[in-house]
Amino acid sequence: MSREEIARELGRVTTRLDTLALNRIDASVVEIIRAASQQIVDLTIDAQRPMNAALPAVGATALAAQLTIVTRDYLATTTTASEDAAVAEILTDLRRSLP
């Protein structure tokens, strides 16, 4: 999968989150999005970030922003095709799991 596919999937997920009623974003949805964001952070090479750095918990209205930031940080690094495929799969699976 290419970086363009990552950007496309990110757009699909954020559009879905932006149009999802807040009352449909319960704790399980927040955790699914946080876990996907954390997986992307874990794939992002950053010599200044501690190895076990965890994303801060954010509210439902900030989930799309947090996901966008971590994905753009990932895209700003040099990566392999297999890492790009993994991030695209994370985003695709996330989109499919949203209510």
pLDDT reported for residue 1: 64
Give the chain's domain count.
1
pLDDT reported for residue 81: 93
Q: Quick one: DSSP state of residue 44?
A: S
Distance of alpha carbon 17 from the chain centroid: 12
The alpha-helical segments, DSSP class H, found in the chain are 3-19, 27-43, 63-75, 81-97
Task: Give the predicted TM-score (pTM) of the model.
Answer: 0.92
Closest CA to 35 of 99, 77, 98: 98
pLDDT reported for residue 47: 72
pLDDT reported for residue 38: 96
Single-letter residue type at 44: T
pLDDT reported for residue 83: 94
Task: Quote the tokens at residue 95.
Answer: 């989109």
pLDDT reported for residue 34: 96
- Contact indicator for 62, 8 with CB cutoff of 8 Å: no
Task: Quote the tokens at residue 84.
Answer: 């790009």
Residues spanned by the domain of 58: 3-97
**Ranges of residues in the chain whose predicted pLDDT is under 70:** 1
